[in-house]
């Protein structure tokens, strides 16, 4: 079992990445690379609309934000 070692240019500490961590990092990188880019301003505007539509209920800002992201990324 090999262990990959990665050095940061800014930090002299060595990070030891197990094969599972390397695979997880690769999966996340691929998912982010293939995800469409939606601006934070457009997500915020749609989340605001959802908040208005919900009767301006407090405490649901994350639900509105995530719904806006889902809608705009489709």
pLDDT digits (tens, 9 = 90+) for 48-65: 999 999 999 999 999 999
Is residue 69 within 8 A of residue 43, CB to CB? The reply is yes
Average pLDDT over residues 9-27: 59
Sign of CA dihedral 33, 73, 62, 49: positive
Residue 18 above 80 pLDDT?
no
pLDDT at site 53: 97
pLDDT at site 30: 54
Average pLDDT over residues 8-33: 57
Q: Cα–Cα distance between 21 and 2 in angstroms, integer?
A: 12
């Amino acid at each position: 079992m090999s262990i990959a070692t990665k050095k940061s240019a800014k930090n002299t500490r060595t990070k030891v990445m197990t094969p599972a961590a390397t695979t997880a990092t690769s999966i996340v990188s691929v998912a982010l690379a293939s995800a469409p880019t939606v601006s934070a301003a457009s997500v915020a505007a749609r989340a605001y609309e959802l908040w208005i539509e919900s009767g301006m209920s407090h405490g649901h800002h994350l639900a509105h934000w995530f719904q806006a992201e889902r809608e705009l990324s489709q």
